[in-house]
Structure 1
């Protein structure tokens, strides 16, 4: 099963700031197990929403130059409240550093006036072909897929 944990990019300041949203629906399959009588978005998915948001910020700022953007480190993760079906979370991510292969961010998720989660994130970005030239085609396919998804997510100007 594959999860996409942001629905839309609300705003973007290239290389500096991004705001995204995720609408939580009871139709989401994983909520049947987490938890049957009290469905809430799992904490790891809240964290992943911030990571995905930061990844889009990197992709856009660096012209989709890397196929892989992976979590390297989380710090100071704080879960402050639950996110249940029918609620919407707005992720706000600010760049602390953005270099060619590494970046760091301060991020939080909020629903209405309630802070749900916050964390500091570090990401590593690279191409598979950096380590194995035979994987250049895979890099190209991943970048093309991310560019197509970006067209659906990006803020309207």
Structure 2
């Protein structure tokens, strides 16, 4: 199953800060199991929303140079409340450093102005072909897919 955990990029300060939103819908499949009588967005998916937001900050700053932008470490993750269907999560991530192979961030998620998640985390970025040259075509396809998804996420009304 593939998750896309942000719906729109609201603002971007190139290489510095990004704000994105996620609208939580009861139609999302994982809510049927988490938890049937009290559905809430799983904490790990809240964190993934921050990671995805930071990934777009890396990709745009580096002009989509890497096909892989992955979570490497998470520290001081604090969950402060549950997020129920019908809520809109606003993710804000700030870059501490974005370098060629790694980056570090702080971020938070809010619902109706109340902080529900805070974290410090690091990402690593690379291309698959660095380990196996035959994967260069896969890298190119993934980069193109990310460029197209970014266009969708960053459309302004």
Using the size of structure 2 for normalisation, the TM-score is 0.98
* Runs ≥4 residues deviating over 6 A: none
The alpha carbon displacement at 1:155 in A equals: 4.8
Match of 1:53 in 2: 53
Using the size of structure 1 for normalisation, the TM-score is 0.98
The RMSD of aligned alpha carbons is 1.0
Corresponding position: 1:103 with 2:103:
yes
The alpha carbon displacement at 1:113 in A equals: 2.0
In 2, Cα distance between the equivalents of 1:20 and 1:55? 12
User: Secondary structure in 2 aligned to 1:129?
Assistant: helix
In 2, Cα distance between the equivalents of 1:26 and 1:68? 30
How many residues are matched? 157
User: Secondary structure in 2 aligned to 1:57?
Assistant: helix
The alpha carbon displacement at 1:130 in A equals: 1.1
Consecutive unaligned residues of structure 2, counting only runs of 5 or more, are none
Consecutive unaligned residues of structure 1, counting only runs of 5 or more, are none
In 2, Cα distance between the equivalents of 1:28 and 1:135? 33
The alpha carbon displacement at 1:134 in A equals: 0.8
1:44-92 CA-to-partner distances (Å, cap 9, x unmatched) read: 0000000000001000110000000011000000000010000000000
In 2, Cα distance between the equivalents of 1:155 and 1:117? 26
Match of 1:135 in 2: 135
